[in-house]
Amino acid sequence: MTTIAPSRERPALAGTTAAAAAPRRRLVLGLAVLGVVLLVAIAASLAIGSKPLGLGTVWRVLGENDGSDAAIIVHELRLPRTVLGVLVGLALGMAGSLMQGHTRNPLADPALLGITAGASVAVVAAIKFLSVTSPIGYVWFAMAGSVVAAVTVYLIGSGVSRTPSPLSLVLAGTAVTALLVSLTTSLLVNDLTTINAYRFWIVGSLAGRGMDVATQLAPFLIAGVVVALAHSPALNLLSLGDDIARGLGQNLGRARAVGLLATTLLAGAATAACGPIAFVGLVVPHVARAWTGPDYRFLMPYAGLLGAILLLVSDIVGRVVVRPGELQVGIVLALIGGPFFIALVRRRRLSSL
């Protein structure tokens, strides 16, 4: 009778599986930790301002709007800007990851597709020709301008091949952005009324927006998040290079079109809601990548949560540093993001996407 020796491969395979599962458990735990940090930032955003409120008071008036000063502050001022901060930060973080993945450019952010410039032209035109002056009035013009600019960049970048390359997207985005910035400047020349209204939008702020702005843009932001998360496996293939991705069955044209759709929904709605907010889409993906590595299935949610946390914390800082006044969140992010990104560049090789 032949005796079969016990296989030694099964324990090795089990050990390999356990080793592969360990990083995944660590990444899932990291997402849970970021979720808790975000909840803390939300609570701080509701409690901290020119008039501090206790967390007990905040919780009470959230459950029952009794018409008190605390209830008015929470429901009419802090709750809308907190909801917008979470949605916009989530959107910009994920949009920045999408842009850096599709262009394979470590300095890419949502503005590279002309989204910010397109929104700016539309807002200036609405102010100048239609006398629109309120944030809720800017929303649809800014969203439309973002979509038109992004589609134009994609069509120009596609050229005759109908499949835009990372380089052609960058070049087309740069050219369209330059054209739109020039057009915006020409509309603002010698028009003091338009400049005065436009400067409050262009600085980037969560203040002065009601819950109606968040309600109108939430469907676009949620749709963009869903598309971006579903698009993560395709980005993993694209990061291997066009030839390898094509050899593995990836349709490059369709993948880039879906990525453009998600970026436009996320960045367009975020810009329409709060104006151009810099550095979130640029810095956050690098921070997330330091934790997750190149796997976009985890990089995308990490970037979204980090973007929401960064935007809320920056907004809180802006309320505190010049109390009883406040600095717009766009200014705070510029002051924080510039030095932070310089330090990040010195510590890491950002070219290795």
Residue 353 reports pLDDT greater than 60? no
State the pLDDT at residue 167: 82
Task: Give the integer Cα–Cα distance in Å for 232 and 97.
Answer: 10
Structure tokens at 201: 């939008």
Residue 341 reports pLDDT greater than 60? yes
Residue 21 reports pLDDT greater than 70? no
Query: Could you read off the pLDDT of 56-67 as tens digits, one per residue?
Result: 999 999 988 888
Highest mean pLDDT among 36-50, 196-210, 273-287, 319-333: 36-50
The dotted CATH code for 83-347 is 1.10.3470.10
State the pLDDT at residue 22: 62
Q: For all residues of the chain together, what is the average pLDDT?
A: 86
Per residue, the 3-state secondary structure of the chain, as one string, reads CCCCCCCCHHHHHHHHHHHHHHHHHHHHHHHHHHHHHHHHHHHHHHHCCCCCCCHHHHHHHHHCCCCCHHHHHHHHHHHHHHHHHHHHHHHHHHHHHHHHHHHCCCCCCHHHHCHHHHHHHHHHHHHHHHCCCCHHHHHHHHHHHHHHHHHHHHHHHHCCCCCCCHHHHHHHHHHHHHHHHHHHHHHHCCCHHHHHHHHHHHCCCCCCCCHHHHHHHHHHHHHHHHHHHHHHHHHHHHCCCHHHHHHCCCCHHHHHHHHHHHHHHHHHHHHHHHCCCCCHHHHHHHHHHHHHCCCHHHHHHHHHHHHHHHHHHHHHHHHHHCCCCCCCHHHHHHHHHHHHHHHHHHHCCCCCC
Task: Give the integer Cα–Cα distance in Å for 96 and 160.
Answer: 27
Q: Which of 150-154, 164-168, 189-193, 308-312 has the lowest mean pLDDT?
A: 164-168
Query: Could you read off the pLDDT of 87-133 as tens digits, one per residue?
Result: 999 999 999 999 999 888 887 888 888 888 999 999 999 989 988 87
Neighbour tally for 283: CB within 10 Å = 23
Count the residues in the chain: 353
Neighbour tally for 10: CB within 10 Å = 9
Question: Would you say 45 and 316 are in contact if contact means Cβ atoms under 8 Å apart?
Answer: yes
More confident call, 313 vs 193: 313
CA-to-CA separations, 282 to 103, 269, 296, 330, in angstroms, rounded = 13, 17, 16, 14
Burial of 117 (0-12, 13-18, 19+ CB in 10 A): buried
Task: Give the integer Cα–Cα distance in Å for 128 and 122.
Answer: 10
Residue 151 reports pLDDT greater than 60? yes
Share of the chain above pLDDT 90, in %: 41
Block residue for tokens 């916009």: 88
Question: Would you say 49 and 319 are in contact if contact means Cβ atoms under 8 Å apart?
Answer: yes
Query: Could you read off the pLDDT of 156-206 as tens digits, one per residue?
Result: 988 756 677 778 888 899 999 999 999 999 999 888 888 888 888 888 889
Highest mean pLDDT among 54-58, 136-140, 303-307: 303-307
Look up the pTM and report it.
Answer: 0.87
Domain ranges of the chain: 83-347
